[in-house]
Amino acid sequence: MSFTRPLVVFGPSGVGKGTLIARLFGDHPDKFGFSVSHTTRQPRPGETDGKEYHFVSTDTFKALLADHAFIEHAQFSANFYGTSEPAIHAVRESGKRCVLDIDSQGIRQVKQTDLNPVCLFISPPDMDTLRRRLRGRGTDDDEAIQRRLATALAEIEYARQPDTCDYVIVNDDLDRAYASFTKIAFGEDVESDVIPPLDD
């Protein structure tokens, strides 16, 4: 029964992962959830430890990191963020399916745990569409877009390796992609798309 397995969604920046996940969470708030990350940043007013984040000191974070507690971690400005295996299990224990939006580095690590994730690659129909979505989103300057596109090529290459993906969805038409995404999220066995050439 794949509904209980964490759903790992990955794909190049700007392909539409966040859009699909936000729509799924909006439509089914009681069925899906993100895991609660650890962070060294200070709580903002209204934030509760264990709810938005597990707030920890830098020393504690580094000790957890040394103990291989995180399946992925990142640093943004001076703050560390990490996703722990127990935090992912906790989502399932609350009766929801855990959805993870992580990069290929994180996936390699998740695959080494006993989390047994379902891996879903969201592919652009072509690279020109990806470029246009990144520009259209308006959150990055040209240099940042170039960096995201360079990283995209590595993510796509990883996705093409045998045994990386359980499913592929080409995010061409959003409603079509979302219909497949919903089925996979609910554990239905759908026919996977094929990653296009992406050589433009």
What are the CA-CA distances from residue 149 to residues 5, 67, 123, 131 (Å)? 30, 33, 13, 8
Placement of tokens 């879903």 in the chain:
120
Minimum CB–partner distance for residue 169 and ligand ATP (Å): 10
Q: Is 26 helix (H, G, I), strand (E, B) or coil?
A: helix
Asked about 176 being catalytic, the answer comes back as no
Q: Is 132 a catalytic residue?
A: no
Q: Which of 116, 174, 188, 189 binds ligand ATP (CB under 6 A)?
A: 174
Q: How many CB atoms lie within 10 A of CB 100?
A: 23
The yes or no reply on residue 133 touching ligand ATP (CB under 6 A) is yes
Residue 41 known to be catalytic: no
Catalytic annotation, pick one of 41, 133, 137, 160: 137
Residue ranges with strand state E in 40-135: 53-55, 70-76, 79-84, 97-101, 118-123
Nearest approach, Cβ of 119 to ligand ATP (angstroms)? Answer: 15
Report the catalytic residues.
Answer: 44, 137, 148
Using CB under 6 A, list all residues that contact ligand ATP: 11, 13-19, 133, 136-137, 171, 174, 177
